[in-house]
């Protein structure tokens, strides 16, 4: 599927609040900070800086939240892509503690912004992790116990296999799981649109249909589009999975992966409560994750199926439906009203890549599927740093992000083989 500058034909697009056109950048402009990309990262960077009195311009190649921020599963999870015991093993307990604190900060940023700006985005509490294998049960128990005991986080509890079956009624989920009432789910595009409104109310200028073709890191930095330029003291690269060749030093650290979602027709209250008793969001612990939740108007929003090819599968509805039927075969007669996909930015070690390229050029990307909280966090942390408080950015700097073997040209074949291996392992 060829991506255009229009929004994808998603459930989110059809239920978006107050979509409006914004003009493109023409001529020469000046700003304290120029942010490239209008997803959560760019919007939170801009909003926070503007609230601190800086003059901020966002330049977006397509539409506001056209990227992953307007297309995702809407799951607001705790922690990082790496689970807490992996963080402790890889980085030691002290850094794991700091990373956990940051991730909690990320979740609270999302909730606080929604409340403060009265963003109408269907926020609901509850995020469940379920397992396909009873042999995994001890992992869920250990995870919950560690968070409860060592991190003082008591909003998560263990669910035994019987409870998982009773809550979600799928024989695909044969094991137990955990239920995190500190996690939540939301309408991702409406969250972004609400952030944009808050940013514009605070004085941020947002230009759409203005692809940045190059930037320089001088004094000032010059950010160029086809028809205009912004001269700024600082530049923030917030392009994530859509970065392409704008900055190769970043592109070699992140792999864009396509991930897909469908929305069924509307169902009765009884039907949706059968597959999701408590109206929480759900994901399993496969490497190629299945995830779902119920929309405000009682559709199943089901995500699954990834592709490492550059193009989307031709018939996306059938592609994702096949995965949905593995989990819920009884939905075979439901019409699929929408299916869409987007790019997730993944790093080699699945940790976010957040930092500074030059004294006045900052970046954040590679949230590896955890961007609702992490991109909101990273945008806030970049704004703090540009405004002079670097303590949170320093924590991210302690995480070294490996380069993909083969760089931007050759990372695909190696990565593709790696993914095939994990896909096979999932099936076994």
- For ligand FAD, the binding residues (CB under 6 A) are 36-42, 59-62, 66-69, 71-75, 211-212, 238-243, 246, 259, 261, 303, 341-344, 365, 367, 369-373, 375
CA gap 366, 80 in Å, rounded: 12
Contact, 57 vs 168, CB < 8 A? no
Q: How far is the CB of 361 from ligand FAD (least distance, A)?
A: 14
Least Å from the CB of residue 296 to ligand FAD = 16
Shortest gap between Cβ of 59 and ligand FAD (angstroms)? Answer: 5
C-alpha 195/C-alpha 119 separation (Å) is 8
Please compute, for residue 358, the number of CA atoms within 13 A of its CA located in the half-sphere on the CB side.
16
Shortest spacing between CB 69 and ligand FAD, in angstroms: 3
Q: Which is nearer to ligand FAD, 161 or 225 (CB)?
A: 225
Nearest distance, CB of residue 365 and ligand FAD, angstroms = 6
Q: 46 to each of 34, 66, 87, 214, 421, how far by Cα in Å?
A: 9, 17, 30, 20, 40
Task: Indicate the residue among 8 and 175 with the shorter CB distance to ligand FAD.
Answer: 8
- The nearer residue to ligand FAD, 272 or 316, going by C-beta atoms, is 316
Of residues 161 and 235, the one with the C-beta less far from ligand FAD: 235
For residue 379, the minimal CB distance to ligand FAD (Å) is: 7
Task: In angstroms, give the least distance from the CB of 138 to ligand FAD.
Answer: 26
Contacts of 390 (CB under 8 A, 6+ apart): 384
Choice between 66 and 319, CB closer to ligand FAD: 66
CB 299 within 8 A of CB 337: yes
Is the separation of the CB atoms in 376 and 74 below 8 Å?
A: no
- Three-point CA angle 375, 211, 382, nearest 5°: 30
- The whole-angstrom separation of Cα 340 and Cα 302 is 11
Cα–Cα distance, 105 to 348 (Å, whole number)? 24
Least distance to ligand FAD, CB of residue 192, Å: 8
Q: What are phi and psi of 137, to 5 degrees?
A: -55, -40
161 or 399: CB nearest ligand FAD: 399
Nearer to ligand FAD, 161 or 354 (CB): 354
CB of 409 to ligand FAD, least distance (A): 19
Beta bridge pairs of residue 304: none
Rank residues 161 and 369 by Cβ distance to ligand FAD and give the closer one: 369
Pick 19 or 149: Cβ nearer ligand FAD: 19
Q: How far is the CB of 188 from ligand FAD (least distance, A)?
A: 7
Pairwise CA distance, residues 261 & 111, whole Å: 24
- Of 147 and 230, the one with the shorter C-beta distance to ligand FAD is 230
Phi-psi region of 255 (alpha: psi -120 to 50; beta: other; left: phi over 0): beta
Distance CA 289, CA 73 (A): 11
C-alpha 68: how far from its chain's center? Answer: 6
Residue 50 main-chain phi, psi, to 5 deg: -65, -40
SS3 at position 259: strand
How far is 383 from 199, CA to CA, in rounded Å? 13
Give the shortest CB-149-to-ligand FAD separation in angstroms: 26
Q: Where are the alpha helices (DSSP H) in 178-298?
A: 188-201, 248-251, 269-275
d(CA 278, CA 294): 10
Pairing of strands 124-130, 281-284: parallel
Residue sitting closest to ligand FAD (CB): 371
Nearer to ligand FAD, 78 or 132 (CB): 78
């Amino acid at each position: 599927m060829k991506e255009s500058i229009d929004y994808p034909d998603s459930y989110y697009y059809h239920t978006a609040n107050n979509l409006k056109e914004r003009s493109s950048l023409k001529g020469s402009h000046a700003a304290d900070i120029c942010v490239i990309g209008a997803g959560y990262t760019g919007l939170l960077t801009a909003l926070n800086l503007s609230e601190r009195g800086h003059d901020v311009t966002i330049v977006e190649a397509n539409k506001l939240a056209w990227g992953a921020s307007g297309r995702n599963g809407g799951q607001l999870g705790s922690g990082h892509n790496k689970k807490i015991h992996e963080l402790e093993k890889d980085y030691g307990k002290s850094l794991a503690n700091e990373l956990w604190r940051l991730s909690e900060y990320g979740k609270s940023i999302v909730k606080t912004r929604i409340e403060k700006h009265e963003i109408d985005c269907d926020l609901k509490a509850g995020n469940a992790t379920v397992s396909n294998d009873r042999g995994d049960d001890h992992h869920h128990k250990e995870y919950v116990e560690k968070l409860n005991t060592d991190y003082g986080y008591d909003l998560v509890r263990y669910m035994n296999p019987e409870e998982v079956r009773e809550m979600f009624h799928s024989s695909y989920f044969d094991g137990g799981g955990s239920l995190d009432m500190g996690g939540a789910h939301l309408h991702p595009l409406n969250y972004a649109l609400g952030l944009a409104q808050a940013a514009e109310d605070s004085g941020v200028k947002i230009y759409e249909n203005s692809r940045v073709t190059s930037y320089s890191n001088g004094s000032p930095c010059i950010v160029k589009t086809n028809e205009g330029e912004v001269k700024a003291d600082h530049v923030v690269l917030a392009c994530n999975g859509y970065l392409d060749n704008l900055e190769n030093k970043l592109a070699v650290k992140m792999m864009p992966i396509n991930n897909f979602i469908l929305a069924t027709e509307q169902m009765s209250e009884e039907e949706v409560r059968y597959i999701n008793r408590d109206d929480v969001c759900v994901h399993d612990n496969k490497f190629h994750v299945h995830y779902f939740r119920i929309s405000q108007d009682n559709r199943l929003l089901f995500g699954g199926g990834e592709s490492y090819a550059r193009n989307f599968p031709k018939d996306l509805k059938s592609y994702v439906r096949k995965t949905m039927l593995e989990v819920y075969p009884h939905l075979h007669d439901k019409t699929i009203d929408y299916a869409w996909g987007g790019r997730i930015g993944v790093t080699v070690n699945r940790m976010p890549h957040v930092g500074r390229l030059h004294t006045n050029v900052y970046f954040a990307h590679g949230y590896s599927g955890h961007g609702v909280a992490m991109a909101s966090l990273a945008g806030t942390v970049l704004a703090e740093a540009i405004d002079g408080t670097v303590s949170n950015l320093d924590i991210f700097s302690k995480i070294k992000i490996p380069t993909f073997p083969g760089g931007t040209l050759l990372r695909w074949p190696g990565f593709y083989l790696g993914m095939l291996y994990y896909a096979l392992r999932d099936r076994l």
